[in-house]
Amino acid sequence: MKKVVIKAPKVVDRTEQGVVQTMPSMDDVIVTDVGEAEFSLEEMQATVGGLIEILGARTEDRYALVIDDEGLLKQKPINPIATILAMSMDMIAPGTVLVGDVLVAFDTGDELKPFSDQEAATVEKILEKVVEMHTRLVMQGQIGEE
């Protein structure tokens, strides 16, 4: 079983104009082996660094994103990869951003589980496309660098 975490890009500097972050890349996607068949509340909280909020996909994909419920209050950095993924799966409204580290999980309807090796590989391919899309939009000047 595989745990997939989308790390928020590192904060390089904080200025009066805002936060400067590194450009997101696949280095921000961490896939690790886990022994458990489902995620415990404690593991999800430790992964995102706080109280959790679960965003469910409004598509047939059955993915869920687990975020820090108080991430904005804690001024955690924007997570562009997770934000684009959530928007593409109709989990959040346009203009909403996700912050901090985000756990990607398989939603059975009753519990959140890690992915099989094959499912994790599929999620990684999706996230590669999200990173490519973000990079292309930044290069075209359609969105600013975080």
Amino acid, res. 63: Y
Residue 128 main-chain phi, psi, to 5 deg: -60, -45
Q: Report d(CA 41, CA 112) in Å as an integer.
A: 10
Q: Report d(CA 110, CA 119) in Å as an integer.
A: 19
Confidence of residue 121 (pLDDT cuts 50, 70, 90): very high
Domain boundaries, the chain: 2-139
Model pLDDT, residue 72: 94
Q: Report d(CA 146, CA 11) in Å as an integer.
A: 9
SS3 of the chain: helix, strand, coil, percent, to 5:
30, 30, 40
Is the distance from CB of 112 to CB of 39 less than 8 angstroms?
Answer: yes
- Indicate the pTM of the whole model: 0.88
pLDDT digits (tens, 9 = 90+) for 65-77: 999 999 999 999 9
